[in-house]
Amino acid sequence: MDYTSLLGLPLEAIMVIVVGFYILELAKLIIAKVGNKKSDEVNTLDSNPPKPKG
């Protein structure tokens, strides 16, 4: 499969978009972890943490 023809964008542009989405998701994870730490001090609803996948 020729990725350069994907959406008519050059490979560099596709890589920039992919990396951008990755950084956004990473930022969301970090913000969620920080938010969870703050909310854990307020409420103790998280007495049943989700089991790790695997």
Mean pLDDT by 10 residues, the chain (54 residues): 64 88 94 78 57 67
Q: What is the predicted pLDDT for the residue at 4?
A: 53
The predicted model scores a pTM of: 0.46
Report d(CA 18, CA 5) in Å as an integer: 16
Q: What is the predicted pLDDT for the residue at 24?
A: 95
- Structural domain count, the chain: 1
Instruction: State which residues form the domain around 36.
Output: 3-41
In a domain, 51, yes or no: no
Task: Determine the straight-line distance between the first and last CA of the chain, rounded to whole angstroms.
Answer: 32
In a domain, 48, yes or no: no
